[in-house]
């Protein structure tokens, strides 16, 4: 275990986090719900009670459908209470890559849908009165070198022109009024990205879904989904339900109940560290505008202030696959100190991980397989995408073609050769990305 000196040069103390549970659970812990009797029949059975499953359930219940959501853990215990709360609707492949693979029209539609999906989230929070510390503070993205800065500046200008989004370049000379680091060579800002408290957001979604009539069964895994005449038999340890329709919203926690999806989604650990409370003057230097923060590296860090503006939370990829080892925490800590050398002696209060769901084309998805609808594949950006796609999937189930419309409803993600749900190759993939990032950093510094 790494040890560092305190700010006052006293006894060495551990550099790794005090708690291995999400910082977010301090104010909004995940809990089991009271046991509910299992309905014999349902209009819709939803598998998974994260953002996607609850948003879908809410839309279905509001239209008078009988709907139950089943979760193998406590509702929200998957990624939906563990994430960074950055409401970006990021899409990993760039415009040119999507256009090459799926055509220019699709690429334009996907970019435009990001704007609509972000606005949908803002409206959802406002109209439902979800108390989740949502603030439209903007996102600063740092450039590693001059060429990257130039390309990002052009993209920011194009974004403003194409979609009317307030976005602009920040030259290196002005960087410190956005972020207290010299690590980047300038960056860009877009003001359509906000931040929220992810566990409060989930708890509030759960509250309105329950009030709308959704039954939520916690700690009730769906073991199998079997076709039965015009509907499905949904088997759980608590009994079997006859459902007219099934919606699978299990994303990075997909298990053997969905073997088709499991061959297509790779669960990848993402980890976050939270600092202890920092002095107000230090926070004002490091994050003067309290914006969300990101970068373009393959293994990019995403980071932000806590909603009360007193801590920094920084996340990134974690190549571990079992247990909760110390090494990935220390790697993130090192990344934090690289960005902000002033934090060399900082104490970490929390470090935790969760699964994001990656797949081959890295585009969120609604798709149908053997009559079962899936809303999934958010690739680490589900704060906006999961409620949006979950709701579109609900309208699809209800046959409301107008409101179900989305650019993400097309063929299922491709399967991954030699993969059945055990991502044995991930440590090697992450090593490869790490190497590419080192090379990019070296090139940028020349």
Nearer to ligand FAD, 149 or 385 (CB): 385
Instruction: Render the burial of 31-41: b for 16+ CB within 10 Å, e for the rest.
Output: eebeeeebbee
Nearer to ligand FAD, 382 or 412 (CB): 382
Q: Which of 155, 157, 255, 361 binds ligand FAD (CB under 6 A)?
A: 255
Segment interacting with ligand FAD, rule: CB under 6 A, options 13-21, 67-75, 142-150, 337-345:
67-75
386 touches ligand FAD by CB under 6 A: yes
Nearer to ligand FAD, 139 or 169 (CB): 139
Rounded to whole angstroms, the Cα distance separating 19 from 4 reads 18
Nearer to ligand FAD, 4 or 191 (CB): 191
113 touches ligand FAD by CB under 6 A: no
383 touches ligand FAD by CB under 6 A: yes
The angle, 0 to 180 degrees and rounded to 10, between the axes of the packed helices 104-128 and 95-102 is 120
Rounded to whole angstroms, the Cα distance separating 202 from 269 reads 20
221 touches ligand FAD by CB under 6 A: yes
Segment interacting with ligand FAD, rule: CB under 6 A, options 28-36, 168-176, 321-329, 380-388:
380-388
The nearest distance, CB 73 to ligand FAD, in angstroms, is 4
The nearest distance, CB 385 to ligand FAD, in angstroms, is 7
114 touches ligand FAD by CB under 6 A: no
Nearest to 349 by CA among 279, 277, 264, 289: 277
Phi and psi, residue 319, nearest 5°? -85, 0
Contacts of 126 (CB under 8 A, 6+ apart): none
- Report residue 95 as tokens: 């415009």
Of 70-89, binders to ligand FAD (CB under 6 A) are: 70-73, 77-80, 82-86, 88
Got the DSSP string for 359-410? -SS---EEEEETTEEEEE--TT-HHHHHHHHHHHHHHHHTT-HHHH--TTBS
3-state secondary structure of 204: helix
Q: Which of 15, 17, 139, 272 binds ligand FAD (CB under 6 A)?
A: 272
Q: Give the binding site for ligand FAD (CB under 6 A).
A: 47-53, 70-73, 77-80, 82-86, 88, 221-222, 249-255, 257, 270, 272, 302, 315, 353-356, 378, 380-384, 386
């Amino acid at each position: 275990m790494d040890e560092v000196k305190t700010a006052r040069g006293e006894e060495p103390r551990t550099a790794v986090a005090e708690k291995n549970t999400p910082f977010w659970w301090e104010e909004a812990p995940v809990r089991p719900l009271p046991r509910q009797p299992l309905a014999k029949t349902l209009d819709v059975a939803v598998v998974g009670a994260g953002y996607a499953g609850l948003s879908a359930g809410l839309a279905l219940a509001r239209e008078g459908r009988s709907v139950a959501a089943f979760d193998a853990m406590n509702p929200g215990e998957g990624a939906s209470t563990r994430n960074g709360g950055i409401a970006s609707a990021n899409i990993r492949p760039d415009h040119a890559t999507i256009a090459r693979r799926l055509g220019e029209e699709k690429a334009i539609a996907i970019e435009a849908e990001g704007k609509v999906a972000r606005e949908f989230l803002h409206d959802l929070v406002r109209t439902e009165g979800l108390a989740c510390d949502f603030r439209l503070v903007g996102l600063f993205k740092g450039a590693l070198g001059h060429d990257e800065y130039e390309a990002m500046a052009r993209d920011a200008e194009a974004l403003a022109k194409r979609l009317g989004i307030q976005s602009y370049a920040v030259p290196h000379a002005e960087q410190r009024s956005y972020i207290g680091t010299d690590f980047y060579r300038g960056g860009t800002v877009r003001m359509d990205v906000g931040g929220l408290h992810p566990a409060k957001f989930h708890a509030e979604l759960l509250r309105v879904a329950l009030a709308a009539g959704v039954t939520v069964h916690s700690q009730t895994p769906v073991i199998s989904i079997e076709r039965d005449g015009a509907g499905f038999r949904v088997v759980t340890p608590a009994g079997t339900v006859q459902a007219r329709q099934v919606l699978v919203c299990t994303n990075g926690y997909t298990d053997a109940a969905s073997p088709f999806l499991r061959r297509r989604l790779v669960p990848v650990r993402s980890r976050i560290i939270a600092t202890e409370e920092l002095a107000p003057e230090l926070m004002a230097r490091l994050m003067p505008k309290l914006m969300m923060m990101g970068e373009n590296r393959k293994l990019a860090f995403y980071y932000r202030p806590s909603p009360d503006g007193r801590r920094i939370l920084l996340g990134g990829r974690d190549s571990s696959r079992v247990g909760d080892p110390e090494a990935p925490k220390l790697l993130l800590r090192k990344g934090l100190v690289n960005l902000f050398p002033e934090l060399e002696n900082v104490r970490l209060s929390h470090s935790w991980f969760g699964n994001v769901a990656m797949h081959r084309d890295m585009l969120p998805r609604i798709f149908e397989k053997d009559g079962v609808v899936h809303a999934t594949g958010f690739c680490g950006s589900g704060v906006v995408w999961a409620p949006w796609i979950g709701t579109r999937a609900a309208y699809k189930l209800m046959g409301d073609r107008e409101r179900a419309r989305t650019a993400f409803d097309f063929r299922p993600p491709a399967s991954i050769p030699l993969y059945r749900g055990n991502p044995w190759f991930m440590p090697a993939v992450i090593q490869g990305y790490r190497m590419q990032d080192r090379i990019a950093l070296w090139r940028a510094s020349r």
